[in-house]
Amino acid sequence: MTTSSDAFVRIAGYSGPGRVFLYLIFMLSGFAALLYQLAWQRALYTILGTDIASATIVVTAFLLGLGLGSLLGGVLAKAAPHAALAFFAAFEISLGLFGASSLDLFAWAAEHFAAISFAETAVYSFFAVAFPTILMGATLPLLVAHDIAASRNVGQSFGSLYFANTAGAALGAVAAVTILFGVFGLAGTTHIAATLNAILATGAAGLYWQSRGRA
């Protein structure tokens, strides 16, 4: 006899091993996000300078973008919960495309905006990272919505995914400052993150199509 719980698992497209794969995807997503954050901070400091005010502007821009992204992800997850993985895959590939060219964009800005005021530069810096950080912020509510279809437990889904993403971010921070920046530089590190985005988008898309087949 098929239970409602079994139906939810089929819709989600995975059971135990599949959920581990989902958590791995989100862990690596956090890893890539921290590579971007550290690389972009260093790049933006070439525009704003390296004083306390500049650091505050950069961090604030990231936090605002992540907050707006969480709102967007929540709206999308509520409107189309069974398409959450499709949105996640689309956001990851979009983030990768932006990330691959991001340092060139910042370099162009540093050259062309050198003469504008500090306030105007701060506004530019916010909008420069708003798009990618909104995409990053949307990923958690999207994956939580998908995972709830299998676990039917909001606390478990949110806690497990948040832990996986935070663990990945911590690993990304350590890897960036101890290995990646020194070996590959800022450009190489952002390309590694962009490649991870493409891989994660492919994995999420695979889970999505699997879930459609089982719905």
135-161 confidence digits (pLDDT tens): 999 999 999 888 887 777 778 888 989
pLDDT of res. 94: 96
pLDDT of res. 181: 96
- How many residues does the structure list for the chain? 215
CA 117 to centroid of chain Cα atoms = 31
Is residue 117 left, alpha or beta, with left meaning phi > 0 and alpha meaning psi from -120 to 50? beta
How do the domains of the chain map onto residue ranges? Answer: 4-214
174-192 confidence digits (pLDDT tens): 999 999 999 999 999 999 9
Is the domain covering 4-214 a CATH 1.20.1250 domain? yes
pLDDT of res. 127: 79
pLDDT of res. 16: 61
Please give the angle made by the CA atoms of 192, 28 and 23, to the nearest 5 degrees.
Answer: 160
pLDDT of res. 5: 43
Whether pLDDT at 7 is above 50: no
Please report, as a single letter, which amino acid is at residue 183: V
- Pair of tokens at residue 193: 């993150």
58-116 confidence digits (pLDDT tens): 788 888 889 999 999 999 999 988 899 999 999 999 999 999 999 988 888 767 766 56
pLDDT of res. 11: 42
